[in-house]
Amino acid sequence: MTMSARHVPLSGPSARRLRLLGLIRKEFLQIRRDPSSIAIAFLLPLVLLILFGYGVSLDAKHVRVGLVAEKPGPETSDFLSAFEHSEYFQPILFTDQRAAREALARRQVSAIVRLRSDFARLALSGQSAPIQGIVDGVDANTARLVSGYMQGVWTQWLQRQGDQRAEESTQAVEMRQRIWFNPAVRSRDYLVPGLIAVIMTLIGALLTAMVVAREWDRGTLEALVATPVSVGEVLIGKLVPYYLLGMGGMALSMVMALYLFDVPLRGSLWVLLLTGTLFLLAALGMGLLISIVSQNQFVAGQVAIITTFLPAFILSGFIFDIGSMPPAVQAFTYLIAARYFVAILQTVFLAGNLWGVIVPNALALAAMAAVFLALAWRRMPRRLG
């Protein structure tokens, strides 16, 4: 025993490597003992991506719309047939307005289109027949999409009527739109890349939020401080195993996005992996900082719940447009690492390697990772007070 002790010096590069390897090995043993870390890295992305990839969609389809023809006839059914053949609507027929209004109040339909009894007479006699549309405004986003569809049905009907004069008054200016990067406007194509950022935020914080706090709780931090390892070595020892796990989870998410959800990848994979590394370091660094500052697992867990999911979900631009937020709230979003990664993911997946977007966001991620890790390093206890 004394022999080997003499052969292992307590300082110098080889000793440092040995200590580091020992710390990493210890962390891996702990991961094996409580496999919830492995579940976090692989089960979480699997479950969440499948659930969201299939579950979440902003494309209004089969909207139940009440059609009221107070005096059914060929003109009204010609107009209303457009709703029956559209995949956006699931029509329910009513003959009077009161029943339709009641259905709207009971949320059985989300919109009503009403053709009054004088519809055919006015439309045929060269006058203008009013069409009344009512949308349930509670879900404003859906309501706006539905009224857009209604307008489309109406203009198409006017065109079918071949009414020259009507054409000039309603279509004097006609707008053609080209939607770049996602011409079919599949919401899944932008939600899935964004979700990767949200999920990786959770994974990064969940993996590390407990690791130092756990040592506080169990009293093993004292033992660690008493050994010759330096603070930097402890942090690297904590970072490396979870970085490897996290990158595994990230790779899994990207494979699922590409092959399960058929999201096109127009940029290159190595850009994704490189910026993913920066993002993961920021997320892990934030988790470590939470863990060090909280000093016990209970508080660390609470802080992790509060600071990760909802901010990444709401403030990252994943679903809500950052540019439309008030300036003060926009300033707040700069603190959310997911914001930069969402911008990179949506661009690299849908638009390609646009360096004008990638470089500034990647630099911001690198800066956040550096700040979090530096803070973690500074706040890591060197002695017990």
Partner 1 sequence: MGYAILGLLKKELLALLKDKKSRFVLIGPPIIQLLVFGYAATFDLNRVPIAIYNEDAGEASRELIARFAGARAFREAGRITRQAEIAQFINPKKALLVLHIGQEFSRDLSNHRPASIQLIIDGRNSNTALVALNYAQTIVADFNRSRAEEQRLPRPAACLEIRAWFNPNLASRWFIVPGIIGLLTLVVTMLVTALSVAREREQGTFDQLLVTPFTPLEILIGKALPGILIGLVESSFIILMAVYWFRVPFVGEIGALYLGIVLFLTATVGIGLMISSLATTQQQGLLGAFLFIVPSIILSGFATPIANMPEAVQTLTLLNPLRYFLVIVRGVMLEGLPMSLLVDQYWPMAVIGLTALALAGWLFRRRLY
Restricted to residues 213-272, the positions that interact with partner 1 (CB under 8 A) are: 214, 217
Residue 157 found at the interface with partner 1 (CB under 8 A):
yes
* Distance, first Cα to last Cα, the chain: 34
Q: Of 18 and 185, which has the nearer Cβ to partner 1?
A: 185
Q: Of 32 and 62, which has the nearer Cβ to partner 1?
A: 62
Q: Are 304 and 287 in contact (CB under 8 A)?
A: yes
Count of beta carbons in the 10 Å neighbourhood of residue 194: 23
Q: Per CB under 8 A, which region of 4-12, 272-280, 304-312, 376-384 contacts partner 1?
A: 304-312
Which residues in the 195-214 window bind partner 1 by CB under 8 A? Answer: 202, 206, 209-210, 214
> What is the amino acid identity at position 159?
Q
Least separation in angstroms between CB 24 and partner 1: 19
Least separation in angstroms between CB 207 and partner 1: 9
Q: Of 5 and 175, which has the nearer Cβ to partner 1?
A: 175
Q: Of 253 and 297, which has the nearer Cβ to partner 1?
A: 297
Q: Of 2 and 128, which has the nearer Cβ to partner 1?
A: 128
Task: Give how far Cα 356 sits from Cα of 12, 199, 269, 334, Å.
Answer: 44, 25, 17, 18
Candidates 12, 13, 74, 126: give the one binding partner 1 (CB under 8 A). 126
Helix (H) or strand (E) holding 247: helix 231-255
Least separation in angstroms between CB 158 and partner 1: 5
Residue 67 found at the interface with partner 1 (CB under 8 A):
no
Least separation in angstroms between CB 249 and partner 1: 13
Closest Cα to residue 113, out of 160, 156, 138, 81? 81
Q: Which structure tokens are listed for 256?
A: 């699922």
Residue 51 found at the interface with partner 1 (CB under 8 A):
yes
Least separation in angstroms between CB 336 and partner 1: 10
In a 10 Å sphere around its CB, with 0-12 CB exposed, 13-18 middle and 19+ buried, how is residue 230 labelled? middle
Candidates 7, 173, 219, 383: give the one binding partner 1 (CB under 8 A). 173
Which residues in the 339-378 window bind partner 1 by CB under 8 A? Answer: 343, 346-347, 350-351, 354, 356-357
Which residues in the 280-299 window bind partner 1 by CB under 8 A? Answer: 294-299
CA distance 51 to 61: 19
CA distance 384 to 377: 15
CA distance 371 to 373: 6
Least separation in angstroms between CB 162 and partner 1: 10
Q: Per CB under 8 A, which region of 168-176, 229-237, 238-246, 372-380 contacts partner 1?
A: 168-176
Residue 55 found at the interface with partner 1 (CB under 8 A):
yes
Per DSSP, the three-state class of 88 is coil
Q: Per CB under 8 A, which region of 11-19, 222-230, 251-259, 306-314 contacts partner 1?
A: 306-314
Per DSSP, the three-state class of 91 is strand
CA distance 82 to 89: 9
Which residues in the 4-43 window bind partner 1 by CB under 8 A? Answer: 34, 36-37, 39-40
CA distance 115 to 80: 9
Q: Of 45 and 237, which has the nearer Cβ to partner 1?
A: 45
Q: Per CB under 8 A, which region of 15-23, 62-70, 232-240, 257-265 contacts partner 1?
A: 62-70
Q: Which residues contact 372 (CB under 8 A, 6 or more apart)?
A: 282, 285, 286, 288, 289
CA angle at 225 for the pair 224 and 227, rounded to the nearest 5°:
70
Total residues contacting partner 1 by CB under 8 A comes to 127
Q: Of 16 and 266, which has the nearer Cβ to partner 1?
A: 266
> What is the amino acid identity at position 74?
P
CA distance 94 to 50: 39
Q: Of 370 and 375, which has the nearer Cβ to partner 1?
A: 375
Strand runs labelled E in 14-110: 63-69, 89-94
Residue 178 found at the interface with partner 1 (CB under 8 A):
yes
